[in-house]
Amino acid sequence: MPTPSGQRAEMVRRLHAEGITDRRVLDAMGEVPRERFVPEAVAADAYLDVPLSIGAGQTISTPWIVAFSTGSLGVGPEDTALEVGTGSGYGAAVLSRCCRAVVTIERHPELAEGARTRLAELGYDNVEVRTGDGSLGAPDRALFPAILVTAMAAEELPSALAEQLTPSGTLVCPVGTGSAGTLLRYHGGRTEELADVAFVPLTTD
């Protein structure tokens, strides 16, 4: 059976073949140990392009979705990014390799604490994990040049998040009904449809 590092290398080759071309994103995907961000019972499936359950009714997105969403942000190396929906912390870890710092928010306390511990153990010290309603953003750290939402917003982009963007910032967020919808990118006053996607619903207080 291939080693985790071999599985990561194969995943990166697959992602590149599937149209992921941002070198920083590919390097991040090749660096972050995805198997450490899923339950031990499914660690052998960590590098398959399928979502995996991480508890609390939540999932870790497929590698392609993580890479595609991160690349769609166009985040710069000196930027601070906001992520809504920490989950296991994997997406934040990948994003943290592409920018200066990440603020990530998770509404489920047990997932937030698990992600906080895991990220600290693995040395991702430029990630701040918060517990709370991510749809409200992090106004104390705004404005953000990049905001990534990893749960399905109902009907429209969350207004509080759009208000926390810099004038030239980018918000990437799935919008739809239930768990099915479209990944949207909001930038410069314009909204662009990127891909059909499936995510767990974004829950707000």
Annotated catalytic residue, options 61, 72, 88, 135: 61
In the DSSP assignment, the letter for residue 202 is P
Distance CA 12, CA 28 (A): 9
Place of tokens 């990534």: 148
Amino acid at 139: P
Look up 96 and say whether it is catalytic.
Answer: no
What is the DSSP code (8-state) at residue 100? S
Contacts 24+ apart (CB under 8 A), 35-40: 35/4, 35/7, 36/118, 36/122, 37/88, 37/89, 37/90, 37/93, 37/118, 38/88, 38/90
Residues serving a catalytic function are: 61
